[in-house]
Chain A
Amino acid sequence: MATHEVSAPSPALGPPRLTEEDQARSADRRRVHQARRQHRRWRLLWLLAGPGILAMLGENDGPSMIAYASDGAQYGLGFFVPFIPVMFLMAYVVQEMSMRVGAVTHRGYGELVLQRYGRIWGWFGAGDLILTNLVTLVAEFVAIRVGLAYFHLGSGVAVALGLALVLFTLSGGRYWRWERIVLGLAAFNGLFLLAAILVKPHLGSVASSLDFSPFPGGGLNTLLLLLASTIGATVTPWMIFFQQSASADKGMTPQDVAHGRYDTAAGAALAALFGIGALIAGAALLTHHGSGIEGFAGAGFPEALRRVSGGAAGTVFALGLIEAGAVAILTISASTAYAAGECVGAAHSFNSSPRSAAVFHAANVGVAMLAAAVILIPGAPLLSIALNANVLATVLLPVSMVFLVMLANDRRLMGRWVNRGSTNVVAIAVVCFVAICGAAYGIDSFLQAVHVLRA
């Protein structure tokens, strides 16, 4: 492969021959070094921000925002207003490890698991990722379709918009360009906060919900579904693959770990804030008992909001759904592309041209096209796919997290950047919590489906 036809750089042999990927990354790093030398702190933060915010706001995707809004419409604000930030704290713990491993090793999650622990574990991880990503991407196209339906546009437009964005962001052949375009789009996740303001919530009721009460009613299965889908709305396998690979692709180094933490923390805070925005907007429908929402069908939530809170709230929510689906299509396709390139040992960077990183670019476009094709199938069970996307991600997440914790504790890879003891305690608690919630919902639902338990 062209990108690999260079000798290993050695100071003794003079400057190494640079591949196109090296050259692009070198240009990005030059600006970082300049900013650091000149003590331009805000510029440095601007240059190093990206993977963390994109992972977190990418996970504030269509299904997640509809899940938050549904929670608000069915149960009100209580419990969820404090619960969402707790979930994003959990996401921060996971994503910080992911960023740190990427910055220290300069390698993606998929290739490290495959090379360090063997092909079986590497391919299992990639298989989990492709399954959950494909299901989630279908749900993203459905979310865009729901948003567009508000403006009387159909599935064909949703497919064209999603695929055009993937092709447009890939066209520059630079990681930096891709990242900045997606960051620009992700800023519009703030529309959910605007939607919350437009429904004119009672601030007292928002403040009084901070004590985790009232606890959502309903049966055990409902509670487990809420937990599993909310976890799936905040941490998923693709985020782990994405942030580690994107941190390496961006050229982050151990010197940048502190800024990587700011980036991840900012992403978590913004995602929690905008998620609560969707919850508050959805809660405007509570007094109507969630009637007319229709979930992922028709114009769903935006149309229901328009009837209750006015046209502006409905329009902003619809635009928010289009943005949430579009950004997630870009980040989830990217995580699939990184995993595909890493697992087959091919070039995997936005800084490589389609010719030298054919697998990476083909996987990026191919997975989006496959998901787009599903939503065009007449009678496809899109509603069920969208509702189960987060739950499936939660069920498959523990394995990815265990390997991430193992990598972050691998002293030969990480040197002095290994996990602290306190990080391990929190990370293991998170793994156990996710595994228990996912398994409890899976087992309980299964027993109901086979009529061993009464629904």
Chain B
Amino acid sequence: MSEEPVIMSEEPVIHHLERDQFVAQTSLPVPPVVLGARARAALWALRVFVVVVSVMVLYTFIDQLQ
């Protein structure tokens, strides 16, 4: 993967805006990053953990209503 920044924030200004501030530029998507297997697994683990705890909080909330 290249180390070249995908967003060039220190371009000269045109109409008081940096080049990458124009809507025409910001509407272009930034390239996706490929996460490693361990990073993906960690993110999924965190997501599952958060969903499980959220369900517990929502269950408690409904239980309190009764």
Interface of A toward B, CB cutoff 8 Å:
3-4, 6-9, 11, 15-16, 18-19, 21-22, 25-27, 29-30, 32-33, 104-107, 111-112, 115-118, 121, 124, 128, 248, 251, 253-254, 345, 347, 381, 384, 388, 391-392, 395-396, 398-399, 402, 410-415, 417, 435, 438-439, 441-443, 445-446, 448-449
Question: B residues 1-17 with Cβ under 8 Å of A?
Answer: 1-7, 9-10, 12-17
**Would you mind naming 16 contact pairs between A and B with Cβ atoms under 8 Å apart?**
A3-B23, A8-B24, A9-B22, A21-B23, A26-B15, A29-B17, A106-B7, A112-B30, A124-B47, A254-B9, A388-B61, A412-B33, A435-B46, A441-B57, A442-B53, A442-B57
Chain B residues whose C-beta falls within 8 Å of the C-beta of A18 in the assembled complex: 15, 22
Interface pair B53/A438, CB less than 8 Å apart: yes
Residue of B nearest to A32 (CB): B16
Top 8 nearest A-B pairs (CB, nearest first) are A446-B56, A29-B16, A442-B53, A449-B63, A445-B60, A415-B5, A442-B56, A115-B29
Chain B residues whose C-beta falls within 8 Å of the C-beta of A6 in the assembled complex: 22-24
Interface pair B16/A253, CB less than 8 Å apart: no
Residue of B nearest to A346 (CB): B27
Q: Report the separation of the CA atoms of residues A115 and B32 in the bound assembly, to the nearest whole angstrom.
A: 6
Residue of B nearest to A10 (CB): B19
Interface pair B60/A8, CB less than 8 Å apart: no
Given A15-B14, A30-B16, the answer on whether A25 and B54 have CB atoms closer than 8 Å is no
Interface pair A117/B33, CB less than 8 Å apart: yes
Q: Report the separation of the CA atoms of residues A85 and B50 in the bound assembly, to the nearest whole angstrom.
A: 26
Interface pair A412/B3, CB less than 8 Å apart: yes
Q: Report the separation of the CA atoms of residues A128 and B57 in the bound assembly, to the nearest whole angstrom.
A: 14
Interface pair A402/B43, CB less than 8 Å apart: yes
Interface pair B65/A381, CB less than 8 Å apart: yes
Chain A residues whose C-beta falls within 8 Å of the C-beta of B21 in the assembled complex: 22, 25, 106, 251, 253
Chain A residues whose C-beta falls within 8 Å of the C-beta of B12 in the assembled complex: 11
Given A22-B17, A121-B43, A412-B5, the answer on whether A254 and B10 have CB atoms closer than 8 Å is yes
Q: Report the separation of the CA atoms of residues A121 and B35 in the bound assembly, to the nearest whole angstrom.
A: 12
Chain B residues whose C-beta falls within 8 Å of the C-beta of A438 in the assembled complex: 53
Given A9-B14, A9-B22, A118-B32, the answer on whether A413 and B50 have CB atoms closer than 8 Å is no
Tell me which of B3, B54, B59 contacts A411 (CB under 8 A): B3
**B interface, size bucket:** 35 or more
Residue of B nearest to A128 (CB): B50
Interface pair A26/B17, CB less than 8 Å apart: yes
Q: Report the separation of the CA atoms of residues A26 and B19 in the bound assembly, to the nearest whole angstrom.
A: 12
Chain B residues whose C-beta falls within 8 Å of the C-beta of A402 in the assembled complex: 43, 46
Interface pair A115/B30, CB less than 8 Å apart: yes
Tell me which of B20, B24, B47, B63 contacts A399 (CB under 8 A): B47
Interface pair A410/B33, CB less than 8 Å apart: yes
Chain A residues whose C-beta falls within 8 Å of the C-beta of B23 in the assembled complex: 3-4, 6, 19, 21-22, 347
Q: Report the separation of the CA atoms of residues A115 and B33 in the bound assembly, to the nearest whole angstrom.
A: 9
Chain A residues whose C-beta falls within 8 Å of the C-beta of B20 in the assembled complex: 106
Residue of B nearest to A120 (CB): B47
Chain A residues whose C-beta falls within 8 Å of the C-beta of B4 in the assembled complex: 412
Interface pair A16/B26, CB less than 8 Å apart: no
Given A8-B24, A415-B5, A439-B49, the answer on whether A391 and B32 have CB atoms closer than 8 Å is no
Given A121-B43, A412-B4, the answer on whether A4 and B9 have CB atoms closer than 8 Å is no
Interface string of B37-61 (1 = CB under 8 A from A): 0000001001101100110111111
Interface pair B25/A8, CB less than 8 Å apart: yes
Pick the most buried of B7, B13, B50: most chain A CB atoms within 10 A of its CB. B50
Shortest beta-carbon distance, B13 to chain A, in Å? 7
Chain B residues whose C-beta falls within 8 Å of the C-beta of A254 in the assembled complex: 9-10
Q: Report the separation of the CA atoms of residues A33 and B32 in the bound assembly, to the nearest whole angstrom.
A: 33
Chain A residues whose C-beta falls within 8 Å of the C-beta of B47 in the assembled complex: 124, 399
Given A22-B23, A388-B61, A443-B53, the answer on whether A117 and B32 have CB atoms closer than 8 Å is yes
Interface pair B24/A413, CB less than 8 Å apart: no
Shortest beta-carbon distance, B22 to chain A, in Å? 5
Interface pair A116/B32, CB less than 8 Å apart: yes
Chain B residues whose C-beta falls within 8 Å of the C-beta of A19 in the assembled complex: 22-24
Chain A residues whose C-beta falls within 8 Å of the C-beta of B61 in the assembled complex: 384, 388
Residue of A nearest to B54 (CB): A395
Q: Report the separation of the CA atoms of residues A107 and B46 in the bound assembly, to the nearest whole angstrom.
A: 25
Chain B residues whose C-beta falls within 8 Å of the C-beta of A251 in the assembled complex: 17, 21
Interface pair A395/B17, CB less than 8 Å apart: no
Interface pair A398/B16, CB less than 8 Å apart: no
Interface pair A16/B9, CB less than 8 Å apart: no
Interface pair B15/A22, CB less than 8 Å apart: yes
Interface pair A399/B46, CB less than 8 Å apart: yes
Shortest beta-carbon distance, A342 to chain B, in Å? 10
Tell me which of A29, A33, A116 contacts B33 (CB under 8 A): A116
Interface pair A33/B10, CB less than 8 Å apart: no
Given A396-B50, A398-B46, the answer on whether A107 and B26 have CB atoms closer than 8 Å is yes
